[in-house]
Chains A and B, each alone.
Chain A
Amino acid sequence: MSISVRNLNYIYNPGMPGETVALSDVSFDVADHTVLGIIGHTGSGKSTLLQHLNGLIKPTSGDVYVDGECITDGKTKMTEIRRKVGLVFQYPEYQLFEETVKKDVAFGPKNLGLNEEEQEARVRKAIGLVGLDYEEIKDLSPFELSGGMKRRVAIAGVIAMDPKILILDEPTAGLDPSAHRDILAMVRRIHEEMGIILIFVSHNMADIAELSDRVMVMSGGKVVLEGTPAEVFSQGDWLSEMGLGVPPAKEIVDLIKKREPEFISEALSTDEAARDIRHYLGESDG
């Protein structure tokens, strides 16, 4: 499984007063099992790009290949694409609509034409993957749940489609710190257990550094930088110029490096930074 995007262009409202170039000449590849983190400002084209990846938006020009198959030539069946590529929108809890959690999560599998037993198996597995108890929750109304739980149920609704590529648009937006941690751990677990490609957008640099194998920076509808987290976050000054910044741990490590030339650390996460600092202090203290 892989995704390739070639010279993608998209223009909103062409020929009208509100004409905006949302994407301009975007090209990139995602290999199997990769976690790709996307960062960029509001309006940099991230959400538009994500919607191209499962055919919700047709590009003005350019192509998207999913698993080597072109999905922008108009021949591919969209249901096939949506079975392969699962897209979780921002604030997905606002799309819940059924009377019970079970029925809501089963909406996707039902649309795929699965029979009752297969649907139930999918729902059970998906709810387990988002870290909820199937038996406990299946007959509750999704509207009774807490914010964090609603979001898990909504994500389960997409996972139940059993996608090979999962795309999450700001999965942690608007959550309190503990729900934030839970969702993050859940995303990591889903990636490991399902062995899929994961693409996610976040404004939290620490989350990006912690989860991603590759990081892509978008600005003004263009991909301006792409690489491993270490490569991307080594451009700290440039990133802050764009108003994006680096993970807090990296910021601290860089400050220490300026004062203590002997301190060596490539840490991006808090844990790595703590380890390196302890190591450095231990050595210099003898």
Chain B
Amino acid sequence: MIRDITLGQYYPGDSWVHRLDARTKIIATLLYLIELFVVNNFYGFLITAAVLFIVIAVSKVPLKFIFRGLTAVFLIIAFTFVLNLFMVDGRVLWHWKFLTITYEGLMRAFFMAVRLVLIIIGSSIMTLTTKPVELTDGLEKLLSPFSKIGLPSHEIALMMTIALRFIPTLMEETDKIIKAQQARGADFESGSLFQRAKNLIPILVPLFVSSFRIAQDLALAMEARCYHGGPGRTRMNEIRFDRSDAIAAVLMVLFLAVIIASRFI
């Protein structure tokens, strides 16, 4: 059950999108998110959606996998849709007691929902096609100019790498502890809210103990290999921009221009 969470999951592959530099993908994703808010009409959304589907097709990540991420936030999307639907003034389309749907409200609700869906798919395409380690490496490189003004970019990236690296480990550990306590007759599915919260103690205490043990082992292992962060540190897989990143950059600029132009249709 706990394995079903797909937060920041990576879908192994060797497509053009997979091979792009992580920095390119981070910038492209940021730009895409901004563009989604630049868009103000139907044509713009059509173009942004089409571009996204082209990227998905090129990345060869199965659609089923991408839409699975949406189910988790379905409630939020539905809530936003309903809220926008009834809250905007304008030309009345439908009226019943205190509920009113206007033409403007319908449009805004629709745009908001589409925007949310595209935001989620757009950002999950990045995490699905980029290994977590590459992602944090890219982020470190992108943040490194700010280290001059005291931003510990290497440390931030390292913390993120470790956090991402240990999500599956801790999930496995949690799964194991839950099962072990279930084998001792623990019941996590019934009882009042207070009782259920109390029932979590047999999971949380061992989980904390394990996390501390893992953290200590990791720190020792890093020290034993003479780890010291930041400046002068070399890496095994140096990331660099190449031709496809240049192509991607050109495509991004073109796309941005089209989106801005779409505002004036």
Contact = CB atoms under 8 A, between A and B. Distances in A.
Nearest to A18: B3
A143 B208 CA distance: 13
B187 A111 contact: yes
B206 A95 contact: yes
Nearest to A90: B176
Interface string A62-86: 0000000000000000110011001
Contacts, number: 59
B177 interface: yes
A56 B184 CA distance: 11
A37 interface: no
A167 to B, nearest CB: 9
B131 to A, nearest CB: 14
B177 A94 contact: yes
A51 B183 CA distance: 9
A78 B184 CA distance: 11
A89 B179 contact: yes
Interface in B143-179: 176-177, 179
Interface residues of B, number: 20
B183 A83 contact: no
B201 interface: yes
B184 A157 contact: yes
A95 B202 CA distance: 8
A199 B176 CA distance: 19
B15 interface: no
B184 A107 contact: yes
A177 interface: no
A56 B185 CA distance: 11
B185 A79 contact: yes
A89 B180 contact: yes
Contacts of A96: 206
A158 B183 contact: yes
A112 B183 contact: no
A144 B186 CA distance: 24
Contacts of B183: 54, 56, 82, 86-89, 158
B2 to A, nearest CB: 13
B12 interface: yes
A112 B206 contact: no
A60 B206 CA distance: 30
A13 interface: yes
Given A13-B3, A17-B11, A111-B187, A94 B206 contact: yes
A86 B177 CA distance: 15
Contacts of B184: 82, 95, 107-108, 111, 157-158, 161
Contacts of A221: none
A92 interface: yes
A108 B209 contact: no
Contact of B180 (A78, A83, A92, A112): A92
Contact of A97 (B12, B179, B201): B201
Nearest to A78: B182
Contacts of A56: 179, 182-183
B213 to A, nearest CB: 8
B177 A95 contact: yes
Contact of A95 (B180, B185, B187, B201): B180
Contact of B176 (A13, A89, A108): A89
B4 to A, nearest CB: 10
Interface centre among B3, B180, B186 (most CB of A within 10 A): B180
A111 B181 CA distance: 10
Nearest to B182: A56
B41 interface: no
A112 B3 CA distance: 29
A199 to B, nearest CB: 13
B12 A17 contact: yes
B210 interface: yes
B209 A94 contact: yes
Interface string B209-224: 1100000000000000
Interface in A79-121: 79, 82-83, 86-89, 92, 94-97, 107-108, 111-112
Contacts of B11: 17
Contacts of B179: 51, 56, 89
Contacts of A107: 181, 184-186, 202
A143 B206 CA distance: 10
- 5 nearest A-B pairs in the assembled complex, by CB-CB distance: A111-B185, A97-B205, A108-B184, A95-B180, A87-B183
Interface of A: 13, 17, 51, 54, 56, 78-79, 82-83, 86-89, 92, 94-97, 107-108, 111-112, 143, 157-158, 161
17 contacts: A13-B3, A56-B182, A79-B187, A82-B182, A82-B183, A87-B183, A89-B176, A89-B180, A94-B176, A94-B209, A95-B180, A96-B206, A97-B201, A97-B202, A111-B184, A158-B183, A161-B184
